[in-house]
Structure 1
Amino acid sequence: MTKLFLFADEAGDFTFNRNQNVSIFYIICTVTMRDCGIGHSLLKLRRDLAWDKVEIGDYFHASTDRQAVRDHVFNVISACDFDIHATIMEKPKAQPQVRATEQTFYKYGWHYHFRYSSKKYVKSLRELHLTIASIGTKKKKIDFEDAVRDVVRQKDLKNSWHLSFWPCQSDPCLWVADYCTWAIQRKYESSGRDLRSYNLIADKIVYEYDLWEHGNIYY
């Protein structure tokens, strides 16, 4: 392998309390692929659905798409070749210094995610292009982008690497990351452990790590 594309998304929020509608987990998910053919397949699906007068949004987004649309998207995704890596962070177990700021928490998660998940692919390539779904306000975007750049630099990659932060709607391969992240989030966040969507992508998951699984202190 000489070139690899990596697309990333996150699920969860940066709120640390037990109020309603606050996520328990923060999840970082990346998908790696040798080419971006899956993006062409998803664009074709959008055109086919539009032709059939199916109601769709401006882009595929798992949390807002109707279930019928999700079914179509997962059918396309499940037939394509790519790998999924996910790091799960149970927020109530985060020590105070880890969640001192949103940037600190975000960088902490990315540090452990990239440090360990990249072992699955880094040694076998010459060039890596990372595309991450941008989040937050303009100021937060800059802070988050700087955090990830610092994490990647710490890896001391000898191969050439490129890093982009794009809105999720800008690239159909980011839709893949969004759908995979959402499916994993449903597994952890839903009280009944909703595995319906997770099971559709489970065979593509090569790294799934609950960072504080063995911790028993809640802050």
Structure 2
Amino acid sequence: MARRYLFSDESGDLQFRATSQVSRYFAVGTLLIEEPELGELRRALATARDELAWAKHGLDSTFHATTDSQYVRDAVFEALKPIDFRVDVTLIDKPKAQPKIRPDEPTFFRYAWYYHLKYLAPRTLKANDELLVVAASIGTKKGRAAFRGAIEEVMTQCVPFRVKRTLAFWRDESDFGLQAADYCTWAVMRAWERGDDRSLKLIRDKVYSEYDIFKSGTQTYY
């Protein structure tokens, strides 16, 4: 039996139109880590935050890859390097998504999560494991309820029934695990959206999968 933590992050937007302000991909990324290593991760990022502040690179709030400077990003990836965890990212090429799977945001969100956990769960979880899924708190109160329901439904469908599972929604700033998941998902998404794999190379050994579920599709809808 193992106690595991699955920190998640989503990257890209939930809009479906062809403009430069809308992402091509939507991604679900997760960082799977066991309890001892999570302690190491939290200590490593706390130390990195303090050292950055001493070097006059103090954060306004918390680590967030999209808005952090490259100097800060490099420090975060360096801190994560010696820690044992796995990252998996499932991507959806949004122009190839049929309208029937995106009638509203929660439905499309559930679809992405379903394919992510369908792949990940049987490869990483065993009977009698304990799993805490920690998702970043997003949207309005009503929206969070819909997204929470989507993840709970997918967990029931995809996580083996003998795995004890719990779902929590925490704010990004409340845990370094969520901030690490943000960084790793951002690195993968950056490579797919912009062709910039500089950051991805720094965590390449931790990324077990990065898969576009519509990779073989040719039909686009916008």
TM-score above 0.5: yes
The answer on whether the counterparts of 1:7 and 1:130 sit within 8 Å (CA) in structure 2 is yes
1:182 equivalent among 167, 182, 186: 186
Task: Structure 1: state its 5+ residue gaps.
Answer: none
Report the alpha carbon displacement of residue 205 of structure 1 after superposing the two structures with TM. Answer: 1.2
Q: Are positions 1:61 and 2:64 aligned together? A: yes
Write the mapping of 1:74-113 to structure 2, written as runs, cut at 5 A: 74-113=77-116
Report the alpha carbon displacement of residue 52 of structure 1 after superposing the two structures with TM. Answer: 2.4
2:177 equivalent among 170, 173, 176: 173
Q: Are positions 1:40 and 2:43 aligned together? A: yes
Write the mapping of 1:137-156 to structure 2, written as runs, cut at 5 A: 137-155=140-158, 156=160
Write the mapping of 1:12-31 to structure 2, written as runs, cut at 5 A: 12-31=12-31
Partners in 2 of 1:201 and 1:171 — Cα distance?
20
Partners in 2 of 1:129 and 1:64 — Cα distance?
28
Partners in 2 of 1:212 and 1:167 — Cα distance?
31
Partners in 2 of 1:145 and 1:87 — Cα distance?
18
CA RMSD of aligned residues (A): 1.2
Which amino acid in the other structure matches residue 215 of structure 1?
G
- State the number of aligned residues: 217
Report the alpha carbon displacement of residue 55 of structure 1 after superposing the two structures with TM. Answer: 3.5
Report the alpha carbon displacement of residue 90 of structure 1 after superposing the two structures with TM. Answer: 0.4
Partners in 2 of 1:152 and 1:55 — Cα distance?
38
1:209 equivalent among 183, 187, 211: 211
Task: Structure 2: state its 5+ residue gaps.
Answer: none
The answer on whether the counterparts of 1:4 and 1:125 sit within 8 Å (CA) in structure 2 is no
- Residue matched to 2:52: 49
Which amino acid in the other structure matches residue 188 of structure 2?
I
2:165 equivalent among 161, 167, 176: 161
Under a length normalisation based on structure 1, what TM-score does the superposition of the two structures give? 0.95
Which amino acid in the other structure matches residue 136 of structure 1?
G
- Residue matched to 1:117: 120
Partners in 1 of 2:178 and 2:203 — Cα distance?
16
Which amino acid in the other structure matches residue 34 of structure 2?
R
Which deviations, in whole Å up to 9, do the C-alpha atoms of 1:144-199 show, x marking residues without a partner?
A: 00000011011242121111011111111101100001001111110xx1010011
Report the alpha carbon displacement of residue 125 of structure 1 after superposing the two structures with TM. Answer: 5.6
Report the alpha carbon displacement of residue 51 of structure 1 after superposing the two structures with TM. Answer: 2.1
1:88 is paired with a residue whose SS is: strand
Partners in 2 of 1:206 and 1:175 — Cα distance?
19
Partners in 1 of 2:92 and 2:156 — Cα distance?
23
Partners in 2 of 1:217 and 1:57 — Cα distance?
44
Which amino acid in the other structure matches residue 26 of structure 2?
Y
Under a length normalisation based on structure 2, what TM-score does the superposition of the two structures give? 0.94
